[in-house]
């Protein structure tokens, strides 16, 4: 009898140990998601995983129905990976201050939007992001095939992957979004537009005939033009488009660069720019078009951007491309999600990322909200606003679908080209790749010189880009002060690193 009792007791203890066996350690201990062993503790929703809340931090305004969408996503994620989601949008204007505080205070969160133009390299240098290669191999095996080699190659720093890029346009075109009603009114033939020169007759017509309407808005477009022609590295050092070797030039000495800004100076003198040229941006331009106060906003372009922005603004827009697409490392890193070093379960965060690339239902919830409330389906892949809802009254405006996962799985709006994603594929295929695609400059050896050069740039850059002054005079002064700030040392370091990179990447 005692033996039987002891046997039952032993069997009970073994069963308890089996049930609790997976409770030891989390992602930080083994590199595996917490609760991945069979029979995980707690409510596993049939997934074998412990419950976990994923926090996604990204730049956007908080929409009215944020909580509703978050709750709906959480229900779906619970079924898939036993996780809930906290969507944490932060206003663009507050982004730097709030995210910097999160980082220095070691606040736990999982996923952070980042980009080449949004502190990716700096955050990697500071150790903010988890290395993703092994995590992706284990929990996101399909992602490399979805993104392709170029996206992966262009997203790495020092040969390692620290954030995953959105699969979207792979390159940057350059051109303008135009108010269609003015295009129609003056019967502008936009089909033949291929260059900046082709735009000038339109700007002149608007200036002469539409008092109170600015021909073209935004000083920032000069940066876009530069990105369409140079793979920028640092301090106006760049690999020019069409280069057959990864060698940097000084753009302040490039005739093409100087001629462009001479043209901008002429546009300024013609009165074609907005009066706030030194501070205006693309958002201001779209607001001015919406108010009937502007004709054109210079933009980086992709197929169907005019239709996307028409949905967002409620204004009919058309686009013209004045530069063929060009792909740089910055474009490959144009929109990314990284896993924070403070994540309590990096493996679960990678599982969520895997779904953003593989699961259209989840991606479209994040992009567009809840079917029947925020949009209605016209077909399997086409959506529109519900009856009585428009761009001004919607309660879950798109937070920035270009920031998340596989954009090719995103629904199209009724006004968009049904072949939009096929056009994206064609766009990506015809985009010229920079010879230096994948090169990331390590600023550490010359960080003090770069700090001094940045101060010099602040003195001259905005004025040059506004077209407000003679570019040759500004550039001459700029180069003189930049040299005193240590430019030659920076250029030598860029040349050295480029040569080393080229040797390692033949």
pLDDT at 415: 87
Using CB atoms within 10 A of its CB, is residue 141 exposed (0-12), middle (13-18) or buried (19+)? exposed
Using CB atoms within 10 A of its CB, is residue 181 exposed (0-12), middle (13-18) or buried (19+)? middle
Same domain, 304 and 383: no
Task: Say if 35 falls within a structural domain.
Answer: no
Same domain, 178 and 165: no
- CA distance from start to end of the chain: 77
Sequential pLDDT tens for the chain (506 residues)? 433 334 333 344 344 333 333 333 333 333 445 554 333 334 565 668 999 999 999 999 999 999 999 999 999 999 999 999 999 999 999 999 999 999 999 999 999 999 988 889 889 989 999 999 999 999 999 999 999 988 898 898 888 999 999 999 888 788 999 999 999 999 999 998 888 999 999 999 999 999 999 999 865 666 778 878 899 999 999 999 999 999 999 999 999 999 999 999 999 999 998 776 655 555 677 888 888 999 999 888 888 899 988 988 889 999 999 988 898 888 888 899 999 999 999 999 999 999 999 999 999 999 999 999 999 999 999 999 999 999 889 999 988 889 999 999 999 999 888 999 998 888 888 889 999 988 888 888 999 999 999 999 999 988 888 888 899 999 999 999 999 999 999 999 999 999 999 998 87
Same domain, 471 and 490: yes
pLDDT at 174: 86
Same domain, 363 and 492: no
d(CA 381, CA 420): 11
Give the pairing type, strands 83-90 and 52-59: parallel
Handedness of CA 421, 385, 305, 63 (dihedral sign): negative
Task: Say if 41 falls within a structural domain.
Answer: no
Task: Say if 130 falls within a structural domain.
Answer: yes
pLDDT at 4: 39
pLDDT at 225: 81
Same domain, 482 and 413: no
Same domain, 302 and 180: yes
Same domain, 323 and 396: no
Task: Say if 228 falls within a structural domain.
Answer: yes
Task: Say if 97 falls within a structural domain.
Answer: yes
Number of domains forming the structure of the chain: 3
Same domain, 292 and 434: no
Could you give the C-alpha distances from 193 to 62, 202, 322, 323, in angstroms and in order?
38, 10, 7, 10
> Which ranges of 31-179 would DSSP assign to H, the alpha helix?
66-81, 95-104, 120-125, 133-139, 143-147, 149-155
Task: Say if 30 falls within a structural domain.
Answer: no
Task: Say if 14 falls within a structural domain.
Answer: no
Same domain, 194 and 65: no
State which of 327, 359, 378 marks the end of a domain. Answer: 327
Same domain, 277 and 391: no
Which strand (E) or helix (H) includes residue 178? Answer: strand 172-179
Same domain, 176 and 323: yes
State which of 440, 466, 486 marks the end of a domain. Answer: 440
Which strand (E) or helix (H) includes residue 165? Answer: strand 164-165
CATH of the domain at 224: 3.40.190.10
Same domain, 300 and 186: yes
- Domain range for 91: 52-171+328-440
Contacts of 349 (CB under 8 A, 6+ apart): 54, 110, 111, 339, 343
State which of 440, 462, 482 marks the end of a domain. Answer: 440
CA 367 to chain centroid: 14
> DSSP readout, 465-485?
HHT-S-HHHHHHHHHHHHHHT
pLDDT at 302: 86
Task: Say if 44 falls within a structural domain.
Answer: no
């Amino acid at each position: 009898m005692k033996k039987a009792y002891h046997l039952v007791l032993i069997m009970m203890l073994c069963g308890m140990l089996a049930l609790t066996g997976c409770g030891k350690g989390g992602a930080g201990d083994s590199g595996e998601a917490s609760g991945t062993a069979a029979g995980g503790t707690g409510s596993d929703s049939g997934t074998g995983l412990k419950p976990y809340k994923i926090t996604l931090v990204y730049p956007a305004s908080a929409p009215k129905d944020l909580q509703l969408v978050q709750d709906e996503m959480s229900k779906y994620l619970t079924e898939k990976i036993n996780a809930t989601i906290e969507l944490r949008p932060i206003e663009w204007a507050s982004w730097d201050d709030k995210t910097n505080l999160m980082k220095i205070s070691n606040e736990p969160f999982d996923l952070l939007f980042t980009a080449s133009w949004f502190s990716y390299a700096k955050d990697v240098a500071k150790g903010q992001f988890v290395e993703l290669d092994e995590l992706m191999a284990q929990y996101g095996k399909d992602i490399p095939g979805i993104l392709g080699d170029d996206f992966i190659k262009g997203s790495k720093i020092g040969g390692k992957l620290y954030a995953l890029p959105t699969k979207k346009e792979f390159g940057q075109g350059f051109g303008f979004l135009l108010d269609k009603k003015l295009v129609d009114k003056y019967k502008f033939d936009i089909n033949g537009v291929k260059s900046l020169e082709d735009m000038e007759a339109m700007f002149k017509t608007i200036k002469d005939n539409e008092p109170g309407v600015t021909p073209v808005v935004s000083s920032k477009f000069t940066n876009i033009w530069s990105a369409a022609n140079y793979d920028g590295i640092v301090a106006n050092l760049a690999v020019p488009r069409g280069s057959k070797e990864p060698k940097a030039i000084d753009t302040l000495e490039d005739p093409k660069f100087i001629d462009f800004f001479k043209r901008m100076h002429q546009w300024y003198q013609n009165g074609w720019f907005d009066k706030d040229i030194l501070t205006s941006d693309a958002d201001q331009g779209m607001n001015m078009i919406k108010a009937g106060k502007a004709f054109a906003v210079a933009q980086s372009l992709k197929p169907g951007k005019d239709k996307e922005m028409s949905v967002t603004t409620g204004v009919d827009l058309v686009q013209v491309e004045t530069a063929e697409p060009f792909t740089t490392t910055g474009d490959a890193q144009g929109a990314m999600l990284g896993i924070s070093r403070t994540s309590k379960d990096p493996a679960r965060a990678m599982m969520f990322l895997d779904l953003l690339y593989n699961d259209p239902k989840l991606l479209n919830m994040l992009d567009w909200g809840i079917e029947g409330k925020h949009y209605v389906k016209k077909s399997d892949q086409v959506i529109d606003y519900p009856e009585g809802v428009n761009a001004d009254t919607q309660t879950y405006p798109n937070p920035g679908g270009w920031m998340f996962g596989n954009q090719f799985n995103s629904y199209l709006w009724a006004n968009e080209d049904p072949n939009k994603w096929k056009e994206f594929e064609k766009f990506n295929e015809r985009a010229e790749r920079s010879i230096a695609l994948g090169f990331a400059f390590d600023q550490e050896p010359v960080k003090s010189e770069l700090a001094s050069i940045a101060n010099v740039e602040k003195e001259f850059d905005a004025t040059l880009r506004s077209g407000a002054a003679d570019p040759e005079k500004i550039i001459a002064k700029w180069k003189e002060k930049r040299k005193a700030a240590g430019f030659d040392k920076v250029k030598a370091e860029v040349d050295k690193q480029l040569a080393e990179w080229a040797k390692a990447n033949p």
